[in-house]
Amino acid sequence: MSSAIAMGNKSLFQGLNLRQKTILIISFTSILLFAIVIISLFLAGNALPTNFESKNLAPSLEHPFGTDWMGRDMFVRTLEGLGLSIIIGAFASLISTVLTLILGLFSSLGKTADSFVSWLVDLFLSVPHLLLIILISIGMGGGTKGVIIGVALTHWPSLTRVVRAEIKQLKTQEYLHISKNLGNSKWWIATKHILPHLSPQILLGTILMFPHAILHEASVTFLGFGLSPHEPAIGIILSEAMGYLSAGYWWLAFFPGLSLLIVVLAFDMIGENFGKLMNPKMAHE
């Protein structure tokens, strides 16, 4: 009896600790990412000094990430690139989330609407993602604008599929039928009953979309279909660095690549911990 109470207390205590730990991880990681964006915005104003006397320097205390063939500090370039990546990722996730929302709510209106959305999702998922981005990007005139639109318009299908399944399940709920019987329109039911149930899932989906969007933008840019060479993008830095790898300037690719990986993992970590917070076992209503 008393041991049962003690155990109950203990698990409650652990739950609280875990919850606090989770929140701590989320806050810390968010601050890190936010700091990168802020710093990169400050840096973006002033052009990096080119200094041919200190070109192609290996990492040192003065230049922790080394310097490139124009003597530019790679640490600063990497920060700027990461900041740009995160901003583009944020924009793309936002647009994709809005599309998910619109399509999800639209699918709730009826059978035909639902089939249409499902068809659209399958259509987009049937084309290789990177190819789709490149096609849209070229179609939109290429360059910075093209890749941003391409990334923004292609990240909704998987989240939309999840949201659509959730809506299907919700629609069997008795209170939705009651709402209809009380005279409420389909649109009213979609926004007042269905949407509040979806918002946690959509928020989580958006966070998890970030790393995908960032990596896709970097890949497309790396392949030469994306941002223009004078943008401080990670994709540009990496593709430039390729030319110097044979010369032994490993730091040109290594540190920017590693930083990109860390940023992507940071977003995954936020998403994962956010998902844990939403877990009914931990959520306190």
Partner 1 sequence: MYLKGENISFGYKKDNLILKDVDIALESGEVLGLMGDSGSGKSTLCKILSGYVPNYQGTISIDGKKISSKGYNPVQLIFQHPEKAVNPKWKMKDILNEGYLVPQTILDSFGIKKSWLNRWPNELSGGELQRFALARALSPKTKFLIADEITTMVDAITQAQIWDIVLDIVEKLNIGVLVVSHDKTLINKLCYDVISLADINKV
Binding site for partner 1 (CB under 8 A): 173-175, 177-184, 193, 196-197, 285
Instruction: Please identify, using beta-carbon distances, which residue of 181 and 246 lies nearer to partner 1.
Output: 181
DSSP state of 108: T
Q: How far is the CB of 196 from partner 1 (least distance, A)?
A: 5
- d(CA 101, CA 114) in angstroms, rounded, equals 13
Instruction: Please identify, using beta-carbon distances, which residue of 7 and 178 lies nearer to partner 1.
Output: 178
Q: List 73's β-bridge partners, or say none.
A: 67
Instruction: Please identify, using beta-carbon distances, which residue of 200 and 257 lies nearer to partner 1.
Output: 200
Phi and psi at 67, nearest 5°, equal -130, 160
Residue 214 near residue 85 (C-beta atoms within 8 A): yes
Q: Which residues contact 11 (CB under 8 A, 6 or more apart)?
A: none
Q: How far is the CB of 192 from partner 1 (least distance, A)?
A: 8
Q: How far is the CB of 14 from partner 1 (least distance, A)?
A: 24
Q: How far is the CB of 61 from partner 1 (least distance, A)?
A: 55
Instruction: Please identify, using beta-carbon distances, which residue of 53 and 285 lies nearer to partner 1.
Output: 285
Q: How far is the CB of 122 from partner 1 (least distance, A)?
A: 26
Instruction: Please identify, using beta-carbon distances, which residue of 18 and 277 lies nearer to partner 1.
Output: 277
Instruction: Please identify, using beta-carbon distances, which residue of 59 and 200 lies nearer to partner 1.
Output: 200
Calculated CA dihedral for residues 39, 44, 49, 55, nearest 10 degrees: 70
Q: How far is the CB of 197 from partner 1 (least distance, A)?
A: 6
Reduced to 3 states (helix: H, G, I; strand: E, B; else coil), residue 66 is: coil
- d(CA 173, CA 10) in angstroms, rounded, equals 36
Sign of the four-CA dihedral 231, 233, 237, 242: negative
